[in-house]
Structure 1
Amino acid sequence: MLEHIRPPRRAVIVGAGLGALATAAAACSSADTPSAPASESPAAASPTGAPASGALTKTTDVPVGSGVIVGDTVITQPTTGVFKGFSSVCPHAGCNVNAITDGKIICPCHKSEFNLDGTVAQGPAKKPLEAKAVTVQGESIVAG
């Protein structure tokens, strides 16, 4: 009589984990190449007026006296033509700011507020938002 052979539970769990890891690695390694032609500058605006590949946003999308949050970057325009960039991570507890209202950058976790130049307007945060370099190239705002 043959006994039923059962693999150890740990081997099944480890095998499933390795399979999931291999699937994730394969998904991450797929070729994601920019679709912009090599002759086009990464900051050049597209014919539709949308920011080109590599651009964070268009200058016209950032209101004077306010700003926008693009991914992990906050871009403000405190005065006409002056653009500033900051990390979206609040220095108080590491939450991401999520709104810009009435000239203030707002963190939802503990209600810290920052001015459009990144300085603390209202705590509990004691440090300003970390500055991130942004530059204007044509009608686009790019990192760096």
Structure 2
Amino acid sequence: MNRREFANWLGVGALASSLPIAIAACQGDTADAPTDAPADTAATVEGDGFAAIGTVADLDAAGFLANVRFQGSRVLVIRDPANADAVIAFNAVCPHAACTVEWGEETLVCPCHDSFFNFDGTVASGPAAEPLAQFEAKIEGDQVLVKV
């Protein structure tokens, strides 16, 4: 084997050994919500398909409600800025890289790649190109209910 063949094999080996790292870097951050995570067992589904995600008092205290294992989905609930008596629930999975979107007081934020979403789920700035999916949500008594 001459030096050229050796250098070629060395380069192929370096490329092959870095491939798993590159693949892992391109996947979304799902460490907080493993794919085999069970659904939230505390959420009891009513006959109309809605389940309680939290109380109105908790929503008002924190400004949002979030659950990464709510009926097998990642859910984020905020007050509707257009109607203080209503709530909006989002699928908290960023459509760009499947990271969990967080409430940021001014906008909804994906911490992985700095995508920002308006309170209606539309993209304020990318790299995400698609809006957040919404779930049906309502307030009933002192409970915030979501239908996924």
Output the TM-score relative to the length of structure 2: 0.55
The runs of 5 or more residues in structure 2 that have no matched partner are: 1-37, 69-73
**Deviation for aligned residue 1:92:** 0.9
**Deviation for aligned residue 1:140:** 0.6
1:69 maps to 2:72: no
8 A Cα contact 2:86 2:138, kept in partner: no
The runs of 5 or more residues in structure 1 that have no matched partner are: 1-27, 43-53
The CA RMSD measured in Å over matched residues stands at 2.8
Q: How many residues align?
A: 96
8 A Cα contact 1:113 1:121, kept in partner: yes
The runs of at least 4 aligned residues of structure 1 exceeding 6 Å deviation read none
Equivalent residue for 1:58? 55
Larger Rg: 1
Equivalent residue for 1:83? 87
**Deviation for aligned residue 1:103:** 2.0
More helix by share: 2
Give, in whole Å, the separation in 2 of the partners of 1:115 and 1:103.
Answer: 8
SS in 2 for 1:80: strand
**Deviation for aligned residue 1:101:** 1.6
8 A Cα contact 1:91 1:125, kept in partner: yes
- Map 1:101-116; keep pairs closer than 5 Å: 101-116=104-119
More strand by share: 2
8 A Cα contact 2:77 2:87, kept in partner: yes
8 A Cα contact 2:78 2:89, kept in partner: yes
Q: Percent of aligned positions with the same letter in both sequences? A: 30
Output the TM-score relative to the length of structure 1: 0.57
Equivalent residue for 2:14? none
8 A Cα contact 1:67 1:100, kept in partner: yes
